[in-house]
Chain A
Amino acid sequence: MNNFMEFKDKRVLVTGGTRGLGRAIAVNFAREGAWVAVNYSSDDSSALDTESELKRISPQSLTIKADVSSRTAVEKMINDVLSTWEYVDILVNNAGIIRDKMLMFLNENDWDRVLDVNLKGTYLCSKAVIKPMIARKSGRIINMTSPSALSGRISQTNYAASKGGVISFTKALSREIARLGITVNAVCPGVIKTNMTEDLDEKTKNDFLKMIPMGRFGDPDDVARAVLFLASKKARYITGQVLVVDGGLT
């Protein structure tokens, strides 16, 4: 662990924080001294695994199962975090799902579910943490978006719409609360090495690699460092922005 811990005793909530990018973000914050709460929706096994890793680094860490698309679940989650920690310094809205289908076959449930988790979840979690942040006149909200929002992608009309909405939400909210010491930004990860990319067939992997000027997939830590930067004091004059971490893809 770093001797100089940039986020010592900062309280961080990462939604979808028990796997993949979310987990990398959570662990990076914990290594920098933060108290980290991770939320997840259903994978109890990954949650237990992440919880024990986080507790080793950050004894104050919390693991909370909650569906971010449900207002009552989000309010309970935030109330549980606030009653244990008193406040939240940094919210990372990372929870997200995909249900890729060509529009002709995209049913209403596929549309609603992706919008509910990815966009409504971002709204619900942000709304729930904002009052304590306003009271302290301090806070960071970092939302995860996607190259799909910037350039579109076949079979992702729902996902692209949700992540495009996240960008617009980020910009609007950043203007609402900039004067109150709270920054709101988005991070746009490109193609990152996770379980999902490991499962791709060789041809698809190679097709992706050809589109990336750097010629490699990103590491989860590449994205985590961008999130930590936006959460840090170094980024105190940055708000309403989208930081793209994609090796030149877009």
Chain B
Amino acid sequence: MRELVSNSEALCEFLKNMIVDTLKLEDVTIDDIGNDTPLFREGLGLDSLDALELVVAIEKIFNVIIEDENVGKKAFASIKALADFIQEEYRQED
């Protein structure tokens, strides 16, 4: 997992696949999700319930904690923001 996290491009691709799989987005492919595409409201158009599912999935896969709604909002702004958040959490562990 650490190897994946250290590679930004691979991490972004992984996260896109994870979002499509976890939320079962049938009409969305990973090519439709840019690294800077907003995930919530506009862009991908996810909602607060989708956020709950993603928080649970991210915490389980990466062993990080998203305790605070504000932290969550910043982390889930885009794929790039999410990747940055995970990389920062791993850096703090080191």
Contacts and interface: CB of A to CB of B under 8 A. Distances in A.
B52 A135 contact: no
Q: For this complex, into which size category does the number of interface residues on chain B fall?
A: under 10
Interface string A144-181: 00000000000000000000000000000000110110
B60 interface: yes
B56 A179 contact: no
A134 interface: yes
Q: Is the interface of B mostly helix, strand, loop or mixed?
A: helix
A131 interface: yes
B89 interface: no
Contacts of B56: 131, 134-135
Nearest to A178: B49
B57 interface: yes
B59 A134 contact: no
A135 to B, nearest CB: 5
Contacts of A137: 53
Contacts of A135: 56-57, 60
B60 A179 contact: no
B39 to A, nearest CB: 18
A176 B52 CA distance: 10
Interface of B: 49, 52-53, 56-57, 59-60
Interface of A: 131, 134-135, 137, 176-177, 179-180
Given A177-B52, A180-B49, 4 more contacts: A134-B52, A135-B56, A135-B57, A179-B49
16 contacts: A131-B56, A131-B59, A134-B52, A134-B53, A134-B56, A135-B56, A135-B57, A135-B60, A137-B53, A176-B49, A176-B52, A177-B52, A179-B49, A180-B49, A180-B52, A180-B53
